[in-house]
Chain A
Amino acid sequence: MKEKVLIVPCSGIGKSYGTVAREGAYAVTEDLCPGKTRLVPLALLVLGEDEARAAMSGARAITIDGCKLACAAKVVAESGGSVAHGLQVLEVFRRHRELKPSGIAELDENGHKLARVLAEEVKRLVDTLTQEASHA
């Protein structure tokens, strides 16, 4: 697969789930699959810059949203990107209710654990996308 999978977290700043999305994206792009993924800042897409839109064109993205408004998924779609998977931190949390996160500027231990669980889910999706691309 030539193109990296784009990882686009929301920029949620008012809730812990936004920070979990951000931390999970770092865990994927820096720790779990740095060679297969690329982090894309959502703010650049909001401006609709040609360069940012060009990066989205033809690439597959995994969006990670901290709330139901799904800004990351919506903005990627608006930017002409293809959302291969749109994840919601809340859905991950519902499967791991013991990991109730708190803190925004600094996540607590549960928040970091939830981010790790989220990152591992994203890694599995990245692996699947990569395999599909190599068989295509």
Chain B
Amino acid sequence: MPELPRKKVGIIACSGEEIPEGTVTRLAALKVLESLRPRETVTICLPLFLAGGKGDRAFARFYPTIALDGCDKRCAARGTEMYSGKPAVSIVVGSTVPANSAGLGSARRLSEAGLQVVSNLADEVAQRVDQLLDLKWDRRSGGTLASSEPQEEAKPHPATCSCGSGIPVGTLQVAGRKVTLVALPQIFSQFCEAGKIPGDLTRAEVLEAVRIYNPVPEEEEAAYAEALVEEYGAFCRGSS
């Protein structure tokens, strides 16, 4: 499996504008993204699954996701599953973190109690992130204990979203028709960096890597492999 961008957890908030719980999900997601786990998390706007392209819809296939919902309609969890992939974790405000709707304030301005629920929910999400990444978090150092990488100083960090970028896709001519393949540029890039020479030896390997993120019809495997090797060759020539 190619090492696509460093493994992160995707946080998807419903952001429901009508109810305070929706604002709780939004602010909790932002707290995790900006302060608690900025290096381990990324987000995408929920509507982008519908409005975006194939790359955006591949989001939950790349990242284990945590869906945060403000009510039992579970728009974030269901929308993510419908368009992208089943969330690894689904949390509805009030289900794991006690929340009294009447005391949260308004959707526009949360009360102190509402902000406390945001903080509690964000802590819960951060713990789930650690579980998904199998990390142990050292609160004193602000770094992960399991990681051998040097930790950056823990500090507020702008939330990173996938708007306008999504997951990279590439196109390929297979048996006379154009197909779009998720992650193709990264797969080629990693193969190229690893010094894999285009040809028969890499044919099966590149097909296998592509198949992780894309459906490849069994009856067309040979045509895909042929096209992939040819395209990978062109990619390598362009990179050299």
- A residues within 8 Å of B by Cβ? 9-15, 18, 22-23, 25-26, 30, 39-47, 49, 67-72, 74-75, 78, 104-105
Contacts and interface: CB of A to CB of B under 8 A. Distances in A.
A14 B43 contact: yes
A43 B31 contact: no
Given A69-B163, A74-B51, A46 B79 contact: yes
Interface string B33-69: 0100000000101111111100000000000000000
Nearest to B30: A105
B14 A78 contact: no
Interface string B215-227: 0000000000000
Given A46-B75, A47-B75, A105-B30, A22 B47 contact: no
Contact of A41 (B22, B27, B161): B22
B17 interface: yes
A6 B29 CA distance: 27
Contacts of B158: 104
A70 B162 CA distance: 14
B82 interface: yes
Given A69-B52, A74-B50, A47 B78 contact: yes
Contacts of A40: 17
- The size bracket of the interface on B is 35 or more
29 contacts: A11-B13, A11-B17, A11-B47, A13-B26, A13-B29, A14-B162, A18-B45, A22-B17, A25-B17, A26-B107, A26-B108, A30-B108, A39-B17, A43-B16, A43-B79, A44-B16, A46-B46, A47-B73, A47-B75, A47-B78, A47-B79, A49-B73, A67-B163, A69-B51, A69-B163, A75-B47, A104-B159, A105-B31, A105-B34
Interface of B: 13-18, 22, 26-27, 29-31, 34, 43, 45-52, 73, 75-76, 78-79, 82-83, 107-108, 158-164
Contacts of A10: 45, 47
- Listed from nearest, the 4 A-B pairs whose CB atoms lie closest are A14-B161, A43-B75, A71-B47, A74-B51
Contacts of A13: 13, 15, 26, 29-30, 43, 45, 159, 161
A68 B47 CA distance: 13
Given A9-B17, A13-B161, A25-B17, A43 B46 contact: yes
